[in-house]
């Protein structure tokens, strides 16, 4: 069996938000909420917790509609929307060490990304998530479903051309982990970079790819 065929036997699949990308700059959000006189947690609900935001995750609304809904809920002037977007989606919270770890795995197995995201995410994260680093990249807005819908996991497995038992999945949300496990995927909930690295290496070692 050649090395390429061997690495294709298994795959490690990463979520983005909360794993490769730490979604929230909590201190900056709290400071902005305090400055605007908002109850803590208000920004999260206004940006990510609306029906429009949920529709955007499955490709039924776009980013402009999602931000417009947040602006309406918060009663913000156009001039401060850029500040809100910078605080809610900062570009400096990528875990570059975990991305480097994913790169190091490619001699042993396939790597993939499976993420709930709004339209345009593929382009906006291309500097960090691209074909040169991952064998498959699947976003919810392209599938028309979001985790833990089985269609999400099935979409990435199909791209990787593997069965559930050949995959390991890392996500920060317990219900997404449970959704993967229900299909027979080995899934773990993200706690820390070190925990994930140990879990991935242990899993691969038991398969000796």
Which of 88, 114, 139 finishes a domain? 88
- Bond preceding residue 148 cis, omega within 30 of 0: yes
pLDDT tens digits, 111-153? 999 999 999 899 989 999 999 999 999 999 999 999 999 999 9
One domain for residues 105 and 146? yes
How many whole angstroms separate alpha carbon 142 and alpha carbon 164? 21
How many whole angstroms separate alpha carbon 43 and alpha carbon 32? 9
Q: Could you tell me the residue range of the domain that residue 54 belongs to?
A: 26-88
One domain for residues 124 and 201? yes
Asked if the model's pLDDT at residue 3 lies above 70, the reply is no
pLDDT tens digits, 182-199? 999 999 999 999 999 999
In degrees and rounded to multiples of 5, residue 13 shows phi and psi of -115, 125
pLDDT at 90: 73
pLDDT at 140: 97
Residue 194, judged by CB atoms within 10 A of its CB (0-12, 13-18, 19+), counts as exposed
Residue 111 contacts by C-beta under 8 Å, 6 or more apart in sequence? 11, 12, 13, 14, 102, 103, 105, 133, 134, 135
Asked if the model's pLDDT at residue 1 lies above 50, the reply is no
Write down the mean pLDDT value for the chain: 92
One domain for residues 97 and 127? yes
Q: Is the dihedral of CA 126, 127, 129, 135 positive or negative?
A: positive
Total number of domains in the chain: 2
One domain for residues 83 and 62? yes
How far apart are the two ends of the chain, measured CA to CA in Å? 11
One domain for residues 97 and 70? no
């Amino acid at each position: 069996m050649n090395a390429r065929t061997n690495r294709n036997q298994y795959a490690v699949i990463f979520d983005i938000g909360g794993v490769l990308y730490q979604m929230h700059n909590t201190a900056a959000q709290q400071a902005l909420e305090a400055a605007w006189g908002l109850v803590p947690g208000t920004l999260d609900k206004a940006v990510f917790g609306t029906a429009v935001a949920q529709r955007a995750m499955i490709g039924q609304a776009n980013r402009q509609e999602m931000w417009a809904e947040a602006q309406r809920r918060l009663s913000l002037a156009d001039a401060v929307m850029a500040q809100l977007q910078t605080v809610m989606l900062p570009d400096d919270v990528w875990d570059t060490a975990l991305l480097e770890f994913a790169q190091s795995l490619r001699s042993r197995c396939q790597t993939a990304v499976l993420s709930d995201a709004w339209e345009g995410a593929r382009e906006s994260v291309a500097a960090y998530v691209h074909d040169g680093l991952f064998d498959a990249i699947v976003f919810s807005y392209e599938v028309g479903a979001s985790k833990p819908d089985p269609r999400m996991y099935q979409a990435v497995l199909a791209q990787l051309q593997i069965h559930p038992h050949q995959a390991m999945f890392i996500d920060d949300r317990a219900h997404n982990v449970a959704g993967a496990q229900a299909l027979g995927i080995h899934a773990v909930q993200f706690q820390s970079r070190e925990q994930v690295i140990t879990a991935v290496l242990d899993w691969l070692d038991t398969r000796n790819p």
